[in-house]
Chain A
Amino acid sequence: MWKWITKFASPMHFYLLVNRLTPWLGWGAAILFVAGVYGALFYAPADYQQGESFRIIYVHVPSAWMSMFIYMVMAAAGGAGLIWKTKVSDAIARSSAPLGASFTFLALATGSLWGKPMWGTWWVWDARLTSELILLFLYLGYIALQSAIDDKRTAARAGAILALVGVVNIPIIHYSVEWWNTLHQGPTITKLDTPSIHIDMLIPLLIMALAFNLYYAAMVLIRARHEIIEQEKNSKWVQDLIIDKVAV
């Protein structure tokens, strides 16, 4: 296992692994997206209270889940980069930031589009919405830090520290609806009870969540591959790779 990990951490093996994995992840995500959107718009019944507007849940909730999950990946990869100084983990942390920021933006925007007709407002400063907005700022701060520092190693280190400190926000987002009175309702799926969502509505949601996860996995690997090639462009394996391309 350890040997496998060290091998994965070598840039060249990482490159080869990404080439092998991304088609599977990408096509898996595409198929699940089609199934999930069909389930979300046709299979799932309308909600007894919210009618058709409830269908926003199928893009809102997976985006919100991804926004937190990607942040944890980013912080963990950044931490691993601090400890083992591996280029691959730094590349994964850096590649995660724009994706995480996108999903956070989507969670906020689709939530707003859901809140207007149902709650009666685009935005409120309750604990859940505010902490999710802070998450977006953490991502944007991380991205700004990366572009402000020219030296890649220093940038990765500074970013990792910011990401690790910001981890404290993740449980706050998750538990905000339980710790404080909020306009946002409590958790549906992740509470310890049985989920209080009808099974016909739940299945498309889980398919969409899986699709979002595979999409993220494929996209973060492609971005990290780009980072790796750029950083290693003077190494022998990249030069060989390019010579192969020229030969073709």
Chain B
Amino acid sequence: MNPKRKKILFTIVFTVIGVGIATGLALKAFQENLLYFYSPTQISDGEAPSNRNFRVGGLVLAGSVVRNSNNLNVSFTLTDTMNTVEVIYDGILPDLFREGQGIVANGATNNEGVFIANEVLAKHDENYMPPEVAEALERAGVEHKSSKSQVFP
């Protein structure tokens, strides 16, 4: 390679690395804004904003779902296995909403510490398998759902 071409090559490599570092630092600075949701632990630590809406993500605690038979009102508990958040929601739930499922709710906490959601989204995990396999795993007592990855990516 002649010197002129080598120079261009080095310029390219350094530019790409430079832009990479600059972007990395910028992303680090905005880390908080890039978080799509807060975990129940972050909320109990007081890291979540109190003056505006935010999102909370966690697993729906088994047996905590209470539906109102007259309307769409539903209440459930979100957990990240360390802390929990009570959530009340009045609306249509996504198809994947079920106990043990990863959920992201948007809303705000009221004075009693209950999270009033105006939107509930389901987060699914990265595992795909036929129902029979899932059943067989369940029978064998294997924890096949990497539930943790739903909350802590």
Contacts and interface: CB of A to CB of B under 8 A. Distances in A.
Contacts of B93: 120
Considering residues B15, B123, B146, which has the most beta carbons from chain A within 10 angstroms of its beta carbon?
B123
Nearest to B96: A118
Among B5, B16, B93, B124, chain A packs the most CB atoms within 10 A around the CB of: B124
B35 A47 contact: no
B123 A124 contact: no
A127 B121 contact: no
B36 A197 contact: no
Q: Classify the secondary structure of B's interface with A.
A: mixed
Interface stretch (A8-16, A98-106, A177-185, A234-242): A177-185
Given A120-B122, A168-B20, A47 B130 contact: yes
B124 A120 contact: no
B134 interface: yes
Contacts of B96: 49-50, 118-120
A83 B12 contact: yes
Interface in A74-123: 79, 82-84, 117-121
Interface string A31-69: 000000000000001111110011001000000000000
A14 to B, nearest CB: 20
A182 B126 CA distance: 13
Interface string B97-139: 1000000100000000000000111111111111111110000
Contacts of B124: 49-50, 118-119, 185
A185 B149 contact: yes
A187 B149 CA distance: 10
A168 B23 CA distance: 8
Given A181-B36, A183-B123, 9 more contacts: A47-B129, A47-B131, A82-B12, A121-B119, A172-B23, A180-B36, A183-B36, A186-B153, A197-B127
21 contacts: A49-B124, A50-B128, A53-B95, A79-B12, A83-B8, A118-B94, A118-B96, A119-B121, A120-B95, A120-B119, A121-B121, A167-B19, A168-B20, A177-B153, A180-B35, A182-B36, A185-B149, A185-B153, A187-B126, A197-B128, A201-B130
